[in-house]
Structure 1
Amino acid sequence: MFKYLKNDLPASIVVFFVALPLCLGIAVASDAPPFAGLIAGIIGGIVVGAISGSQVGVSGPAAGLAAIVLAAIASLGYEAFLVAVVLGGVIQIAFSILKLGIIGYYFPSSVIRGMLTGIGIIIILKQIPHFFGIDKDPEGNFVLFGGNSNIFSDIISIPANLGVGSTVIALIAMGILILWSSVLVHKHQFFKLVQGPLVAVVAGVVFFIVAQGTSMEIAGTHLVRVPVPDSFDSFLGQFTTPDFSVIGSPEVWITAFTIALVASLETLLCVEATDKLDPEKRVTPTNRELLAQGSGNILSGLVGGIPITQVIVRSSANIQSGNRTKMSAIIHGFFLLISVIIIPNVLNMIPLSVLAAVLFIVGYKLAKPSTFKAMWSSGWKQFVPFIATVLIIVFKDLLWGIGIGLAIGIVVTLYHSFKNSHFLHKEGEDVDDGKIKMTLAEEVTFFNKATILKELDALPENTYLELDVRNTTYLDHDVIEILEDFAFKARERNITIKLVSQRGIVENPESFIEFFKLEKIS
């Protein structure tokens, strides 16, 4: 792993710059102590990074779990919540032992995208009070409607409770983030090495120091509050331990299963994305990844940290910075640890409104308007489960959203499939000439994703594959994506693909999506 240290060390610095503000921001969004976010980032880098089989993925506290963590802390209390984190890690290890690493393939992409979009919307709504520095309920309100106080009533009250200093630096930070990502990052390599979120945080610290004693001074209640140790013993005293006396509580177990399920789904989704981004196209063993994530969550819960997943923001920054091995993820974890020990006083000068600006961008990336447009363009079979998942997550809760979105996806699938079988027919297995014929059934849905993927990955190199779709009338969008990914891998493995359709024979089509549109296969 040390062979490529010249590549991994610079990448680890970039990832550290990205991770530091996000660890603090996601902890704030979760209504957890900022130190808990740093604990999760350290463990995600060092422990999960060491165990994981991914060479490009970076783990840490995830925005996708913020809504769950916030609700769990509010209902259970922090020490009982930590028990749920530990149990969630144990459940993830059980998932790994049961080889459930393919679980992500059994959830339609429309529901997973709906889950991430709904979480993005919640993150944005929750950070509005922080952004404007209002003193009333500075952590935001989790209730959308009803009661004497909810998110929308807080928004309406902003003009009367506006924190001028917090708002000014939040707007400055937002401008830096937008300018950095849309303009400066394309101008010079320096702007790729030094990330926008770090610059925004530094600007926030400078503003706090300069504004002291003026009308724009930011109150201490609207700053990050990380404990400052005066000795090694006091540093160890910052860690919180779980209260295992509540281990028999049904609510704790429900929270644990929710954390395990959502963290596993988000991790597996990220693994799928990062494997596609990896220039070397290495394949991450998913069951080993669940083992790594579960181990990380057990340790994080035991010492007071929030849940961990593999995270696409940090992972993509790692890849774009030219890392070669997982040493970059491990080293970034050590950088986080050093920052907690050496500069806690500096961390306590960061305005919460600056972290809110960073999280606004994170939420926007999860809930981009282009996502809604793309799902609408994919047809009602994709859009209905997607929008139902989003709305129910935002107005009810995450588990209800995922469950109802999945139920709708199943109903849509059954509506199209009840008359036909969903099997992948493979012929020519006994013929030792390198030629294999695979015939897709009349209707192929996301339930067939794992089977098709397994069959395609099992094909030996130098195979001549004949894919017969003459009888196929419905091919799920998820399966088309798998075929497109396989077309890329096939070139690397010298596999020739011949598509046999009603229009004739096509050798190695450039785009399966365009091909099936021409074939008028739904």
Structure 2
Amino acid sequence: MFKHIKSDLPASIVVFFVALPLCLGIALASGAPLFSGLIAGIVGGIVVGAMSGSNIGVSGPAAGLAAIVLVAITALGGYQNFLVAVVIGGIIQILFGVLKAGVIGYYFPSSVIKGMLTGIGIIIVLKQIPHFFGYDPDPEGDWAFFQVDGENTFSEILNTVNNISPGATLIAIIGLAILILWNNVLSKKGKIFQLVQGPVVAVAVGIIFYVLTKDHETLGISKEHLVSVPVPDDIDSFLGQFSFPNFSAVSNPQVWITAFTIALVASLETLLCVEATDKLDPHKNVTPTNRELLAQGTGNIVSGLIGGLPITQVIVRSSANIQSGGRTKLSAIIHGFFLLISIILIPNLLNMIPLSVLAAILFIVGYKLAKPALFKVMYNLGWKQFVPFIVTILGIVFIDLLWGIGLGLAVGIVVILIKSYQNSHFLHIEENGDGKDYVKMTLAEEVTFFNKGAILNELDKLPRNTFLEVDVMKTRYLDNDIIEILEDFIIKARERQIDIKLVSKRGIVENPESFVEFFKNRPKSDLSLS
């Protein structure tokens, strides 16, 4: 695990700076104690990171669960009752892993996964624009289009125009320039620039800028534009920030409903993130999905027991890890320890980091996820790939993550049905000298009830006095619905003077009566014709 420490250590620092404000922002958006987001980040890094089979995935509190948490805390009568649901949700996730439910993630089309990554990249950029200019009325963890304060993504950007903070904007521009220079020029100049990552330098410059200008009338950055980590006075006040489940609420049916909801949504988000990060991974490692569900379940049990938010694998942190050169799970684990050590030893220093600098870091992450060139690539692949891709992006940007994925998947299924309808058979028509049409209908390898309409339409269009050859040589599966259509057509064929021949691996049948028997005598347990 320590083989790639030179890559994992700097990557973990970048992930730490990305995770810190997101942990706090998601806790704020969830209506939970700020410290609960940090607990989830620590557990996601150390516990889930250690148990996971993913080399580059990073787990922590998820924005996709914020709305569920916000409603559940009130509905269940308090945060400690909600923690019981988190623990039970973790147990259900472990059960999912034991039942090998991790295979679900593989059934999402590639176009939807790419749309998810691109949509998240666009959302990252849009949501960070207010923070970049020092306008921070909404938590960074609020990723839905309609926000908790009644605004939406675009109205918040418009509001930024009249609320620009000169100091926050200036250091954000400086930080962004450092990141671009580091990424495009300096990282190619020497090993020192690869070991020390650009985001670390940008954050350090941001802290120095804040210290030097904090009393300046124009360039000074006010506290609401800085990271806000809870600062304990002593060890007792630090330990007092932990919450514990009220297990007397376990008999409340609403707790179990919330637990199952958390388990289902968290598992789905994790599996989709696993699929997406494996695609982003330059080394193409494959994450064992059932093991990931076991790791996530264990993480949620631990997080719930000590007062943390629900955990999933998170694409923002995972993609930051990949882009920063992370190679093994050590980067995720170290980032968890960084979170733990920093909130104990240096919370005051963390509270000097301008949010606008962290927004600049996330700008780079978002841009790399949503590169404009990808739109051209997907367009060139044809409408079957491009339409689900675009629908997924629009759903994520204008509603939220799960809606976007659901809409993209629904469109992908419709595309499959359309192509299945079109590709069920091949029709070849020839006219012989006697004026009789010879029609050869070659059925596809698998023909199901989806193809009923297309085949029925072709049979109904056949003119009188036609010779029809039905070729099922390559057909491995023929649905009973299709067989019934062919059986019914034999009756119509007599009336329309259509001669039929069936060609299959079991022989050639030219007698219509035998044709019917051919299907009636098929093996009851297997509709295969080969």
TM-score by length of 2: 0.68
Q: Secondary structure at the match of 2:59?
A: strand
Counterpart AA for 1:122: I
Q: Secondary structure at the match of 1:290?
A: helix
Aligned pairs for 1:205-354 within 5 A = 205-215=207-217, 216-241=219-244, 245=249, 248=254, 253-271=260-278, 273-274=280-281, 277=283, 284-302=287-305, 303-305=307-309, 307-309=311-313, 312-313=318-319, 315-316=321-322, 320=325, 326-327=329-330, 329-354=332-357
Larger mean CA deviation between 348-357 and 111-120 belongs to 111-120
Aligned residue in 2 for 1:124: 125
Q: Secondary structure at the match of 2:344?
A: helix
Counterpart AA for 1:52: S
Aligned residue in 2 for 1:19: 15
Q: Secondary structure at the match of 1:61?
A: strand
Post-superposition offset of 1:172: 1.3
Aligned residue in 2 for 1:197: 199
Larger mean CA deviation between 103-112 and 91-100 belongs to 91-100
Post-superposition offset of 1:219: 1.1
Larger mean CA deviation between 343-352 and 116-125 belongs to 116-125
Aligned residue in 2 for 1:520: none
CA gap of 1:356–1:85, structure 2 versus 1, over 3 A, is farther
Q: Secondary structure at the match of 2:129?
A: helix
Counterpart AA for 1:261: L
Alpha-carbon displacement from aligned partner over 1:331-384 (angstroms, at most 9, x marks no partner) = 443343222221111111111112222222222222221222221111100011
CA gap of 1:373–1:304, structure 2 versus 1, over 3 A, is same
8 Å contact from structure 1 (residues 124, 360) kept in 2: yes
CA gap of 1:138–1:218, structure 2 versus 1, over 3 A, is farther
Aligned pairs for 1:376-455 within 5 A = 376-418=379-421
2 CA distance for matches of 1:135 and 1:289?
Answer: 35
Aligned pairs for 1:46-125 within 5 A = 46-54=46-54, 56-61=55-60, 65-66=62-63, 68-77=64-73, 79=79, 85-86=86-87, 88-125=89-126
Post-superposition offset of 1:159: 3.1
Alpha-carbon displacement from aligned partner over 1:408-465 (angstroms, at most 9, x marks no partner) = 111111222247689xxxxxxxxxxxxxxxxxx8589xxxxxxxxxxxxxxxxxxxxx
The structure with the largest alpha-carbon Rg is 2
Aligned residue in 2 for 1:159: 161
8 Å contact from structure 2 (residues 57, 277) kept in 1: no
Post-superposition offset of 1:385: 0.8
Post-superposition offset of 1:85: 4.9
2 CA distance for matches of 1:286 and 1:196?
Answer: 33
Counterpart AA for 1:307: I
8 Å contact from structure 1 (residues 134, 161) kept in 2: yes
Counterpart AA for 1:213: D
Alpha-carbon displacement from aligned partner over 1:311-349 (angstroms, at most 9, x marks no partner) = 53355367x46x5x6455434433432222211111111
2 CA distance for matches of 1:164 and 1:81?
Answer: 41
Counterpart AA for 1:151: T
CA gap of 1:287–1:73, structure 2 versus 1, over 3 A, is closer
8 Å contact from structure 2 (residues 14, 320) kept in 1: yes
1 CA distance for matches of 2:82 and 2:199?
Answer: 29
Counterpart AA for 2:10: V
Counterpart AA for 1:158: T
Counterpart AA for 1:26: L
Counterpart AA for 2:127: K
Larger mean CA deviation between 264-273 and 218-227 belongs to 264-273
Counterpart AA for 2:159: S
1 CA distance for matches of 2:200 and 2:206?
Answer: 10
CA gap of 1:90–1:377, structure 2 versus 1, over 3 A, is farther
2 CA distance for matches of 1:81 and 1:183?
Answer: 49
2 CA distance for matches of 1:28 and 1:358?
Answer: 17
2 CA distance for matches of 1:10 and 1:69?
Answer: 34
CA gap of 1:190–1:119, structure 2 versus 1, over 3 A, is same
Task: State the percentage of identical aligned residues.
Answer: 54
Post-superposition offset of 1:51: 1.7
8 Å contact from structure 1 (residues 113, 386) kept in 2: yes
TM-score by length of 1: 0.69
Segments of 5+ residues of structure 1 without an aligned counterpart are 423-440, 445-470, 473-522
1 CA distance for matches of 2:372 and 2:86?
Answer: 33
Counterpart AA for 2:44: G
Count of residue pairs brought into register by the alignment: 414
8 Å contact from structure 1 (residues 388, 404) kept in 2: yes
Choose the corresponding residue for 1:355, options 334, 358, 366: 358
